[in-house]
Amino acid sequence: MGVADLRKLPSVEKLLQHLEAANSGLPRTLLVDAARAAVEAIRERLLRGEEVSVDAGSIVESALRIARTHGTPTLTRAINATGIILHTNLGRAPLSARAAQAVADVVAGYSTLEIDRDTGRRGSRHQHVEPLLTRLSGAEAATAVNNNAGAVLLALSTLARGKEVIVSRGELVEIGGSFRLPEVMAQSGAHLVEVGTTNRTYARDYERAITAETGLLLKVHRSNFVVSGFVHEASPAELVEIGRRRGVPVMFDLGSGCLVDLRSRGLPYEPTAQDAVAMGCDLVTFSGDKLLGGPQAGLVVGRAKFIEMVRAHPLARALRMDKLDYAALGATLSAYLDPSTVWDEIPVLQMLTRSAAELRAAAEELRDALRQRAPGSWQIDVEPTTSEVGGGSLPEAHLPSYAVAVRTPTQLEERELALRRHHPPVFARIAENALLLDVRALLPGDAPIIVDALTSSGTPEGQLR
């Protein structure tokens, strides 16, 4: 064994014959690359003096594995056992059944994306969400773009290019690294005028900063952090009063953009789009896939004349949403028309409001199923834990939840890795020497998959690339 085996390595040609005989259904180009990669990997290991089998059968196996990995889409569904409801890395909001169905209906064929059914002529894609958004928010007009970062960029570019935008120093937020308000502002061509201090900004600070160059007063919801102690901020209503008097429009970037009052379910207040509109804000921007619980989108509601300007801006075309998004957003918004069922229909709202008893029962069920299949040496218990809302929303909300805590005699890290490599992958966390499976953000049907992922022998290390 060792370097001497180099001569015994099958040729790529030979390997390819085996691979094609295996009828994997994978395209030949992938098989050729995989055959090369598999032989090369073994050659390298032999040269390092490792003991590796050069048996053609096992090389074919590993080549097939490589080809399958490369031939499989990398974006797959995943199971969220982290307890973080709006996990940005796991795709934020899961869609409602109605929204998923709407997407499925639209993807399969043609759609009425931009056609007027009465005339048979070109219509507008805005028709699919504007009536819903105006009804739900109380605004005169509404539009939607690719995401909220895009909505803010577009609104600033439209209303304030070459002009000054007044913002409180306490609201110059960064969201998830790639969205920093001063940088978005710079991209839009607007000039940032900071007023107040990190902790205290008054209405009079904005008023004093207004000049002939002022294009906009901007209020930004500090979605993902809190300041407490010696603090003050000007309310949107105060800004609106100043804006009206001085002839300057007021925009409120809500970030998360809720359409229901979370206080009604014992959660912290999150400004709703309808509150912002009622206070008189001229433009209000918010995300589609945060607390709203829909697809990635940036919603803009407000005065008709500003919405028209926003739509007519050249960037609007570059930031427009696609038909799948319209389908999902339209279905999500229509769920909000019935306040009595929306809390059950939208998964994000449902997860936010799951009761302790319900979570505990779900955790106990998962624990029992795991105990049935897991080795006797594992310790599996239900433990109270805290879940987060995530997605830069409701940073103050610490939601009491339940998790199944798994303690194994072997390396927990390996188990956690095996979960991530399972199909579909399961994401959990390790804390206090236990693998914690928080049940809050689990969806129906997830539990048996977790049991499988954790108790099946799993993929041995190093096989997947």
Q: Which CB, 287 or 401, lies closer to ligand PLP?
A: 287
Q: Three-class SS string for 201-223?
A: CCHHHHHHHCCCCEEEEEEECCC
Rounded to the nearest 10 degrees, how much is the dihedral formed by the CA atoms of 260, 261, 265, 270?
A: 110
- As measured in angstroms, the least distance from the Cβ of 156 to ligand PLP is 12
- As measured in angstroms, the least distance from the Cβ of 38 to ligand PLP is 41
- 18-52: burial string, b at 16+ Cβ within 10 Å, e else: bbeeeebebeeebbbebbebbbebbeeebeeeeeb
Coil, strand, or helix at residue 253? strand
Q: Which CB, 148 or 158, lies closer to ligand PLP?
A: 148
Closest CA to 147 of 110, 183, 175: 175
d(CA 163, CA 404): 55
Residues that bind ligand PLP (CB under 6 A): 147-149, 152, 173, 175, 179, 220-221, 223, 253, 255-256, 287, 298, 392
Q: Which CB, 10 or 271, lies closer to ligand PLP?
A: 271
- As measured in angstroms, the least distance from the Cβ of 384 to ligand PLP is 29
Coil, strand, or helix at residue 440? coil
Q: Which CB, 297 or 426, lies closer to ligand PLP?
A: 297
- As measured in angstroms, the least distance from the Cβ of 256 to ligand PLP is 6
Dig out the tokens for 169 from the structure: 């120093």
Q: Which CB, 267 or 380, lies closer to ligand PLP?
A: 267
Q: Which residue has the tokens 């900071």?
A: 194
Q: Which CB, 207 or 270, lies closer to ligand PLP?
A: 270
- As measured in angstroms, the least distance from the Cβ of 184 to ligand PLP is 8
- As measured in angstroms, the least distance from the Cβ of 391 to ligand PLP is 7
- As measured in angstroms, the least distance from the Cβ of 254 to ligand PLP is 7
Closest CA to 333 of 86, 137, 80, 90: 137
Q: Which CB, 160 or 419, lies closer to ligand PLP?
A: 160
d(CA 171, CA 163): 19
- As measured in angstroms, the least distance from the Cβ of 294 to ligand PLP is 11
d(CA 104, CA 327): 9
d(CA 431, CA 422): 21
Residue number with the smallest Cβ distance to ligand PLP: 255
Q: Which CB, 141 or 152, lies closer to ligand PLP?
A: 152
Rg (CA), the chain: 27
Coil, strand, or helix at residue 174? strand
- As measured in angstroms, the least distance from the Cβ of 53 to ligand PLP is 49
Q: Which CB, 83 or 298, lies closer to ligand PLP?
A: 298
* H/E element, 383: strand 379-387
Q: In 10 A of CB 165, how many CB atoms?
A: 22
Q: In 10 A of CB 297, how many CB atoms?
A: 25
